[in-house]
A = this chain, B = another copy of it.
Amino acid sequence: MNTTSSPPQSGMESSTRTGADLLCETLLSQGIDHCFANPGTSEMHFVAALDRQPGMRCILGLSEGVVTGAADGYARMADKPACTLLHTGPGLANGLANLHNARRAFTPMVNIVGDHASLHAAFDAPLASDIEGLAWPMSHWVGRSSSPDSLGELAAEAVQQARTAPGRIATLILPADHAWSSTDTAAPPARGKPQPIAPQDSALAAAAQALQQPGALLLIAGAALREEGLKLAARISAHTGAKLLTQQANARVERGLGRVAIDRVPYVVDQALAKLKGTRRLVLVGAKAPVGFFAYPGKPSSMLPPDCEVITAAAPDEDLLAALHELAARVGAAADAHLPLLAQRADQKQALPLPSGALTAAAVAQSVVVQMPEQAVICDEMVSSGREFFPMSWYAAPHDYLQITGGAIGIGIPLATGAAIAAPGRKVINLQADGSAMYTLQALWTQARERLDVVTVIFSNRRYAILHGEYASVGAGAPGANAQRLFDIQDPALDWTLLARGMGVAAERADSAERFNDLLAAALQQRGPFLIEAVI
Contact = CB atoms under 8 A, between A and B. Distances in A.
A449 B494 CA distance: 11
A408 B136 contact: no
A97 B96 CA distance: 11
Interface in A454-477: 466-467, 470-471, 473-477
Interface string A385-404: 00000000000000000000
Contacts of A53: 482
Contacts of A503: 492, 494-495, 499
B294 A120 contact: yes
A501 interface: yes
B483 A48 contact: yes
A41 B470 contact: yes
A405 B134 contact: no
Contacts of A58: 482, 485-486
Contact of A37 (B40, B116, B180, B486): B486
Interface residues of A, number: 115
Contacts of A37: 486
A124 interface: yes
A301 to B, nearest CB: 5
A100 B93 contact: yes
A79 interface: no
Interface in A77-91: 88-91
A106 interface: no
A182 to B, nearest CB: 11
Nearest to A405: B126
Contacts of A435: 62
Interface of A: 8-14, 37-42, 44-45, 47-48, 50-54, 56, 58-60, 62-63, 65, 88-91, 93-94, 96-97, 100-101, 104, 116-117, 119-120, 122-127, 129-130, 133-134, 136-138, 176-177, 180, 249, 288, 291-298, 301-302, 405-408, 410, 435, 438-439, 441-442, 445, 448-449, 466-467, 470-471, 473-477, 479-483, 485-486, 489, 491-499, 501-504
Given A39-B486, A47-B479, 5 more contacts: A89-B100, A96-B96, A116-B294, A123-B302, A176-B294
